Amino acid sequence: MIQVQRMIVQTTMSRLPVKQESNQDFFIGYDHKEMPYLLLPTAPGLLSEEECFALPFERDLYNSYKYTLNYAKTIVNLEELTLFIDHLSFFFGPDQNMLRVYLQSKHYETFVEWSEEKQSKKIQEALFNYENVSSLEEKKKYTNLLMQLLKR
């Protein structure tokens, strides 16, 4: 069951983030320490296939049911997460109001712009490297990387 969930999450989150996101397209993943993370869309090719960017939640010291979203972006390996949920009301309130606020915030807008810039640089690097290698095997490697980076 966890493998199927992992595949659904990986497929859904493997995309370039956009400024007009739907709050329905997000997941929370838990690591082995039961630490929750908001999984963020990650453009294909920026990280390995099983990794994505995420924001950790911090548990309140005095109320174990209260979490605060930490805006410090981190990388999580989906293979190491032990649980995925798409019912986000516990963390973000009714109708995911707090998630909607985050997706319209300067923090998320900056993440989107940073992702676009990072992807653009990776594409430029791959094109440059493709032009400067001579073996067919190396060219195929960069062709595959470009195909992955240009997938939208």
Write down the pTM of the prediction.
0.88
Query: In the chain, how many domains are there?
Result: 1
Q: Determine the Cα–Cα distance for residues 104 and 122; give it in Å rounded to an integer.
A: 26
pLDDT tens per residue across span 100-123: 999 999 999 999 999 999 999 999
Domain span holding position 118: 2-150
The string of pLDDT tens digits covering residues 28-61 is 999 999 999 999 999 998 999 999 999 999 988 9
Beta carbons of 54 and 39 less than 8 angstroms apart: yes
Rounded distance between C-alpha atoms, residue 65 and residue 145, angstroms? 42
Q: Are strands 51-59 and 36-39 parallel, antiparallel or unpaired?
A: antiparallel
